[in-house]
Amino acid sequence: MSSATGLRRNSTSRAGPFPAPTASGTQLVLIPSYNTGAKVFETVHEARRYWNPVWVIVDGSTDGTAEQLREMAAQDAGLHVIVLPRNRGKGAAVLHGLREAAALGFAQALTMDSDGQHPADLIPVFMAAARDHPEALILGKPVFDATAPRIRVLGRRISNGWANIETLWAGIGDSLYGFRVYPIRPLLDVMEAQLWMRRFDFDVEAAVRLVWRGVRPINIPAPVKYFRPEEGGVSHFNYVRDNALLSWMHTRLFLGFLVRLPQLIVRRLRGGRKVILER
């Protein structure tokens, strides 16, 4: 694991059209990872091209990637690797990273999946939007191509519909897309106040509960890429288990929505609107 002092040094890596990224003391990229195989190395490499620092939270992986990631971090002061002893879920891994980041003074964290589906070249765009709107939640609004499984696209439409109802259409463009920038302190307050949001339910519930707290969502279109198994694509989505988890989550959120409905109506009448930034 790289040292805390090394997290803020400059990097010599190149970032395409962007200059070599200097270390940020307020914004970091946070990548939770569980058994994605070699795709995690590609993801980390691309993220490091565009941002410094990048943190990887290895969530109890058993595929041997933790050791190689540690070797990469030993050679790269802009890469920090945290290895959790057992798999606890995406939300739990992100929470662990957020706590350490907050202790070091970071204010915003961009989360991205480790399986290569998210566009690393948009990291600077999202971070710039977060700097301009430090109080906001910067959400990726996915742009699908032909690789997207139809059943997954239809399923997320249902989840998005419920998220919009639960927030009274406050502007969550997509509730499941994990490429987004969170304000760290508000998210920590939300997560530490209850026991949920520790697994696959993290992305949706984080967006809804932050909006409930008055955090404004800003949506930025971003492509998403689904890889076939022969391309190294890995998916841990279980249609029965994870859809049951989402159903239970939306039941809880809908009950919470009913309690908060008067407050949400007042906020809506005062002119709360979503913002979409077009590239």
pTM equals 0.85
Contacts of 278 (CB under 8 A, 6+ apart): 221
For the chain, 279 residues long, give each residue's pLDDT as a single digit of tens.
Answer: 333 333 333 333 334 444 458 899 999 999 999 999 999 999 999 999 999 999 999 999 999 999 999 999 999 999 999 999 999 999 999 999 999 999 999 999 999 999 999 999 999 999 999 999 999 999 999 998 877 777 768 878 999 999 999 999 999 999 999 999 999 999 999 999 988 899 878 999 999 999 999 999 999 999 998 766 655 556 655 557 667 878 899 999 999 999 999 999 998 888 755 555 544
What structural domains does the chain harbor? Answer: 5-276 (3.90.550.10)
Cα distances from 147 to residues 34, 62, 155, in angstroms, run: 22, 28, 16
Nearest CA among 269, 267, 272, 271 for reference residue 257: 267
Cβ-contact 5, 110 below 8 angstroms: no
Q: What is the distance in angstroms between the CA of the first residue and the CA of the last residue of the chain?
A: 36
Could you give the CA distance from residue 55 to residue 93 in angstroms, rounded to a whole number? 11
Cβ-contact 174, 160 below 8 angstroms: yes
